Amino acid sequence: MTDVRAATGWTTSDSELERVREEDERLARERTKIARDGPGLKDAELAARLDRTWRRPPGIIGWLATVDHKEIGRRYIITALMFLALGGVLALIMRLQLAEPGNNLVGAQRYNELFTMHGSTMMFLFAVPVMEGVAVYIIPLMVGARSTTFPRLNAFSYYMYLFGGLMLWGAFVLNIAPDVGWFAYTPLSGPEFSPGKRSDVWAQMITFTEVSALAAAVVLVCTILKARAPGMTLARMPIFAWAMLVQAVMIIFAMPAIALASGMLISDRLVGTQFFNQYEHGDALLWQHLFWFFGHPEVYIIFLPATGFVSVITETFCRRPIFAHTIVVLALMSTGILAFGLWVHHMFATGLPRVGYSFYTAASMTVAIPTGLQIFCWLATMWEGRPRFEVPMLYVVGFIITFVIGGLSGVIIASVPLDLQVHDTFFIVAHFHYVLIGGAVFPLLGILTYWYPKITGRMMSDALGKIGFWMVFLGFQLAFFPMHFSGLLGMPRRVYTYPAGLGLELPNMLSTIGAFVVAAAVGIFVVNGVVSLYRGRLAPANPWGAPSLEWATPSPPPAYNFPHVPVVESRTPLWDTGPEMPVLTGLRVDEKEMLLTTVVAAVPDLREPIPEPSLWPFISSVAVGVFFISSIFSPWAVPFGAIPCTIALIAWFWPKEMKRTPEPVIS
Amino acid sequence: MSMGRRAPLVLLALGTGACSYQNYQSTFGNAAIEARQFNTLFVIFLVVCAVMYLAVVLFLFASILRRRRAGEANVVEDGRHHLSSPLMRSALIGWSAVVVVGLIGLAIASFFADRSMAKAASGQKLSITITANQWWWDVQYNSADVSKMVRTANELHLPVGVPVRIFLRSNDVIHSFWVPSLAGKQDLIPGRDNDITIVPSKVGIYRGQCAEFCGAQHAHMALVVNVDSFPDFIKWWQHQLQPAQAPTTPEAVAGYNYVTSRQCGACHSIAGTPASGTVGPDLTHLASRRSIAAGTLPMGQGNLYGWVADPQSLKPGVHMPTIGLEPAQLHAVVAYLETLK
């Protein structure tokens, strides 16, 4: 006792110190009574008790309140695929309209709505959310965690996304869909040239998806950096986790630019600010800078997760780790950084200074270097390995053949003199569909086939998968390769019709036929997904013989993901350890708890209590949604709409009484 | 796989066939120095990119075929998955070098093309101001002598071999001036002054089209460019300098009276008459042009009737209203418009 006083300089009385010591001993006794996983509690009994702790409450309330990343991820994926289908139907209508010159299937106004809805849906409601949805589902499993960090924020992110999408499509049904293109250039989208509410709907849809994407990005960054299994140092982290880390950090840097831009557009339209009005000292081009500062990274926000998918599939089906892992990781990071220095290449025709253009030409070409290196590394992995051409691997081959065409046409349009001709023509339409469908949707279809057994517990049909792959691959080339020619033959983007006699008839007809082949293939994929849910072969824990941790737990995974926290000793843990994975025990089973580790070395750091399911994220997102939607109609929605938001957030974050037994950090 | 590769090749053949199809509105038109330079540079890029693509595809197929030779692979089944061959490690370095050198070469080629275009375009002789409107082009030939200035719409006449500087403005939203057979595009942005210089090199008729989405009728915002021999161009200019001729037939006179005293003159101007509106295209020599309503319809009596009677059904959303003319008025207006040669 005197030692304690000497060490601390406190003037605590003997009796006081005695009381503290007794309290310590009491807590230590309490702790021994806490149920933990370990030698004393394992297998069936452990599973039953963990399930009781982690299972969400039943009923509709429990369904809305869930914070299970697997449920949220699944909803994200299904919702995004529905928006893909809706956006695809719009594309088919557009292709029918363009099938022949002077066609009159849909008029100018409707066509303008169609391509605006198609672009906005595909970019904001399908491509980004589906990547986040897959990551929200798989990342915690892949890094060996029981949950994402901030699970309630994760739920909030999904509901915001859903409401944003429903608003846009509700507006379409009510005939107030936006009609100014997915990048809504001012002054066309401003108050003078777009009266009515169409542009406001577009701008607020962007606001919804910004909030949602930022929330999901924060969840993913923290999960990847802090929730990795012990031993999974940064050097041993799977490439998909790296890709998602870079992507999420990019979202955090890119989204504020579009948040600013859409906010300025809304206030120009709603309260008469003049940010983009050149006659009141605003600037029409400011919009383009802000939009593309977000818009170009956006492409990589979609593409980088897809490269992660390619790495995952290539590794598993070539039966060896990715060749030059470090190079691939560095390529991801440098792509993420370079992506922020390219935006002006969307503005080569706006008459900015020539010297500035040269910089952006060079920067745009530079970004081809890391991508070229990644391609080499995948090919070298195939070369060194023994590739098995299951359906996911077929998609990787289709990806390389297709995406590289898009990448090289990207090099062509990085050159100012070439871009000035093909800019805003169907050549560009061909380019970005090669990059986004070839580069992102092909890997996505591959990875959905790959992770389907993990998510559902059943395998997808192989035969249907192969038919679907060949149809989507060939149909895609038929639909989009001719667009290079329609662009070079002088067909601008976003025209609802074109005159006969320019040589555009044949390429357009081929594109239309190809589009329907792709649609049929996507239909086959969906049928395969639905039928396999009931008829598919039951999947074991690791049907593909894959190396990463998500396959170390049953398919589908239990609510708590892993009975014991896995310990990682290499980059490919399931290939390098025997049948018995090393594990770390001692997490509580009577309350939801996860292990946090240090950022770089992944040494156990903290036990983190995981919040219980709660309705407040849902209620908050309803409040924010009402706020956003009503602010389309009146500026008073801002002060009054903020009140329910504030109340909901206060309730969400209301401090709970600490009932837990205090525990020291494990060492 | 082989079928997947063959499809684009077939299309390539189709495409090259289509290249010779028309020079009317094609980036392969080669009708100006700028368009020629585009084509040269495009071929250079295409060759380099094709070589890169071939390298990727060959590597891909080599890796796929190689798997049949079992035993040499560094895979988990053989317990060698942590190994990689020295061959691939040096290939990685070689690959990076090729990519970097290729890209630097392309960037330099691009810079040189850009500079030489700027050089070819210096020493302008003719100055034109084009002002874009939703959805038509206002064209003005500038001259220090005001009496030599010509105003027309949706049509451009350029003398072959003479560098022309075109100043680009917009009255409403952003548009983009693009005549693919002559040169790349340049935006017309409200509140900003842009310009483009073109040196036409081949006599002919070409079509251009707005290339930046500008609202409902973006698809119908075209213009016709006539590249004339120098004498023809001067002849055209002299003709344009004339005011509209007074109508002679009774019907045309009735049309003249309607056009100059009723709605039409509020938006359109006809030199030499009281019609002096500026928000619609100049009509002084309307009947000498090749198209109506910014390339929406070919010029002709039937189309003039259709357009004057009901522009809203031919170009929905156009700012010209359908005013519901009586048949007699319609006949008169069209008869007068046809005299505006």
Measured from the Cβ of residue A48, the count of other Cβ atoms closer than 10 Å reads 10
The residue among A189, A383, A575 with the most chain B CBs within 10 A of its CB, best to mutate, is A383
CA angle B227, B232, B237 (to 5 degrees): 90
Report the pLDDT value the prediction gives residue A10, as an integer from 0 to 100.
Answer: 66
Report the pLDDT value the prediction gives residue A416, as an integer from 0 to 100.
Answer: 93
Which of B237, B261, B288 represents a domain boundary (last residue)? B237
User: Which chain A residues are within 8 Å of B110, Cβ to Cβ?
Assistant: 361, 414-418
pLDDT beyond 80 at B283? yes
Report the pLDDT value the prediction gives residue B70, as an integer from 0 to 100.
Answer: 61
Query: pTM for the complete prediction?
Result: 0.93
Q: Which of A284, A365, A510 sits opposite B103 (nearest CB)?
A: A365
> Per the domain annotation, does A326 fall within a domain?
no
User: Which chain B residues are within 8 Å of A323, Cβ to Cβ?
Assistant: 84, 88, 92
Residue of B nearest to A355 (CA): B111
The reply to whether B50 and B136 lie within a common domain is yes
pLDDT band at residue B18 under the 50/70/90 scheme: very low
| Helix, strand or coil, per DSSP, at residue B224 | strand
> Per the domain annotation, does B70 fall within a domain?
no
Q: Is B4 exposed, middle or buried (0-12, 13-18, 19+ CB in 10 A)?
A: middle
Domain count within chain B: 2
The reply to whether B207 and B259 lie within a common domain is no
Tokens of A599: 């950022």
Report the pLDDT value the prediction gives residue B116, as an integer from 0 to 100.
Answer: 84
Rounded distance between C-alpha atoms, residue B253 and residue B259, angstroms: 10
> Per the domain annotation, does B40 fall within a domain?
yes
Residue of A nearest to B45 (CA): A412
Rounded distance between C-alpha atoms, residue A178 and residue A189, angstroms: 9
The reply to whether B110 and B186 lie within a common domain is yes
| Helix, strand or coil, per DSSP, at residue B337 | helix
CA of B317 vs chain A CAs: smallest distance (Å): 8
> Per the domain annotation, does A462 fall within a domain?
no
Q: Which residues of chain A have pLDDT under 50?
A: 1, 666-667
Sequence letter at residue A177: A
Q: What is the pLDDT of residues B185-200, one digit of tens each?
A: 999 999 999 999 999 9
> Per the domain annotation, does B16 fall within a domain?
no
The answer to whether A165 and A81 are in contact (CB under 8 A) is no
CATH number at residue B281: 2.60.40.420
CA angle A79, A80, A85 (to 5 degrees): 95
Report the pLDDT value the prediction gives residue A21, as an integer from 0 to 100.
Answer: 84
H or E stretch covering A528: helix A505-535
Report the pLDDT value the prediction gives residue A210, as an integer from 0 to 100.
Answer: 92
Report the pLDDT value the prediction gives residue B201, as an integer from 0 to 100.
Answer: 93
The answer to whether A551 and A574 are in contact (CB under 8 A) is yes
Q: Is A420 on the interface with B (CB under 8 A)?
A: yes
Report the pLDDT value the prediction gives residue A652, as an integer from 0 to 100.
Answer: 93
User: Which chain A residues are within 8 Å of B11, Cβ to Cβ?
Assistant: 481-482, 485, 510
Per the CB < 8 Å rule, is B215 touching A387?
Answer: no
> Per the domain annotation, does A646 fall within a domain?
yes
The reply to whether B209 and B85 lie within a common domain is yes
Measured from the Cβ of residue B160, the count of other Cβ atoms closer than 10 Å reads 18
H or E stretch covering A514: helix A505-535
Domain count within chain A: 1
Strand segments (E) across B54-185 = 126-133, 136-141, 150-153, 155-159, 164-170, 175-177
The reply to whether B216 and B127 lie within a common domain is yes
> Per the domain annotation, does A403 fall within a domain?
no
Report the pLDDT value the prediction gives residue A667, as an integer from 0 to 100.
Answer: 41
The answer to whether A324 and A289 are in contact (CB under 8 A) is no
H or E stretch covering B37: helix B33-66
The answer to whether A393 and A449 are in contact (CB under 8 A) is no
Rounded distance between C-alpha atoms, residue A652 and residue A532, angstroms: 39
Q: List A residues 347-386 in contact with B (Cβ-Cβ < 8 A).
A: 349-351, 354, 357-358, 361-362, 365-366, 368-369, 372-373, 375-377, 379-380, 382-386
> Per the domain annotation, does B288 fall within a domain?
yes
* Structural domain range at position B266: 250-338
Q: Is A655 exposed, middle or buried (0-12, 13-18, 19+ CB in 10 A)?
A: exposed
Q: Is A278 on the interface with B (CB under 8 A)?
A: yes
Which of B206, B237, B268 represents a domain boundary (last residue)? B237
The answer to whether B331 and B323 are in contact (CB under 8 A) is no
> Per the domain annotation, does A85 fall within a domain?
yes
> Per the domain annotation, does A1 fall within a domain?
no
The reply to whether B41 and B131 lie within a common domain is yes
* Tokens 């595809």 found at: B57
Q: Is A202 on the interface with B (CB under 8 A)?
A: no
Nearest alpha-carbon partner for B93 in A170, A608, A372? A372
Residue of A nearest to B19 (CA): A489
The answer to whether B172 and B133 are in contact (CB under 8 A) is yes
The residue among A361, A396, A495 with the most chain B CBs within 10 A of its CB, best to mutate, is A495
Tokens of A548: 């990463």
Residue of B nearest to A111 (CA): B216
Report the pLDDT value the prediction gives residue A2, as an integer from 0 to 100.
Answer: 54
The reply to whether B169 and B273 lie within a common domain is no
Nearest alpha-carbon partner for B99 in A32, A376, A125? A376
Q: Is A216 on the interface with B (CB under 8 A)?
A: no
| Helix, strand or coil, per DSSP, at residue B202 | coil
Per the CB < 8 Å rule, is B49 touching A401?
Answer: no
The reply to whether B202 and B265 lie within a common domain is no
Q: What is the pLDDT of residues B110-128, one digit of tens each?
A: 999 988 887 776 776 899 9
Residue of B nearest to A547 (CA): B76
The residue among B27, B41, B196, B223 with the most chain A CBs within 10 A of its CB, best to mutate, is B27
Per the CB < 8 Å rule, is A193 touching B215?
Answer: yes
The reply to whether B140 and B254 lie within a common domain is no
Tokens of B271: 């030199």
The answer to whether A95 and A512 are in contact (CB under 8 A) is yes
> Per the domain annotation, does B18 fall within a domain?
no
Sequence letter at residue A439: G
Q: What is the ipTM of this complex?
A: 0.92
Report the pLDDT value the prediction gives residue A662, as an integer from 0 to 100.
Answer: 52
Q: What is the pLDDT of residues B143-183, one digit of tens each?
A: 988 888 999 999 999 999 999 999 999 999 999 999 999 99
Q: Which of A283, A386, A418 sits opposite B67 (nearest CB)?
A: A386
Integer-rounded Cα Rg, in Å, for chain B is 28
The reply to whether B295 and B223 lie within a common domain is no
Q: Is A485 on the interface with B (CB under 8 A)?
A: yes
Rounded distance between C-alpha atoms, residue A473 and residue A521, angstroms: 9
CA of B58 vs chain A CAs: smallest distance (Å): 10
User: Which chain A residues are within 8 Å of B176, Cβ to Cβ?
Assistant: 349, 424
CATH number at residue A48: 1.20.210.10
pLDDT beyond 60 at B19? no
> CA A546, A550, A555, A560: dihedral to nearest 10 degrees?
160
Per the CB < 8 Å rule, is B213 touching A180?
Answer: yes
Rounded distance between C-alpha atoms, residue A292 and residue A346, angstroms: 7
* Tokens 């409403």 found at: B172
Nearest alpha-carbon partner for A344 in A394, A292, A303, A302? A292
CA of B45 vs chain A CAs: smallest distance (Å): 6
> Per the domain annotation, does A489 fall within a domain?
no
CA of A236 vs chain B CAs: smallest distance (Å): 13
Measured from the Cβ of residue A57, the count of other Cβ atoms closer than 10 Å reads 11
Q: Which of B111, B195, B219 sits opposite A108 (nearest CB)?
A: B219
The answer to whether B316 and B293 are in contact (CB under 8 A) is no
| Contacts across the A-B interface (CB distance below 8 Å) | 310
> Per the domain annotation, does A444 fall within a domain?
no
* Structural domain range at position A261: 41-298+305-315+555-667
The reply to whether B145 and B120 lie within a common domain is yes
> Per the domain annotation, does B49 fall within a domain?
yes
Sequence letter at residue B290: R
Tokens of A477: 């080339």
Nearest alpha-carbon partner for A448 in A518, A392, A403? A392
User: Which chain A residues are within 8 Å of B28, Cβ to Cβ?
Assistant: 488-489
Which of B202, B237, B272 represents a domain boundary (last residue)? B237
Per the CB < 8 Å rule, is B75 touching A318?
Answer: yes
The residue among A111, A310, A376 with the most chain B CBs within 10 A of its CB, best to mutate, is A376
Q: Which of B73, B107, B316 sits opposite A385 (nearest CB)?
A: B73
Rounded distance between C-alpha atoms, residue B105 and residue B286, angstroms: 50
Q: What is the 8-class DSSP label of residue A39?
A: T
Strand partners, B188: B175
The reply to whether B30 and B176 lie within a common domain is yes
Section B234-239 average pLDDT: 94
Residue of B nearest to A395 (CA): B1
> Per the domain annotation, does B9 fall within a domain?
no
C-alpha A30: how far from its chain's center? Answer: 43
Binning chain A into helix, strand and coil, the percentages to the nearest 5 are 65, 5, 30
H or E stretch covering B186: strand B186-188
Q: List A residues 313-352 in contact with B (Cβ-Cβ < 8 A).
A: 318-321, 323-324, 327, 349-351
Nearest alpha-carbon partner for A629 in A270, A201, A266? A201
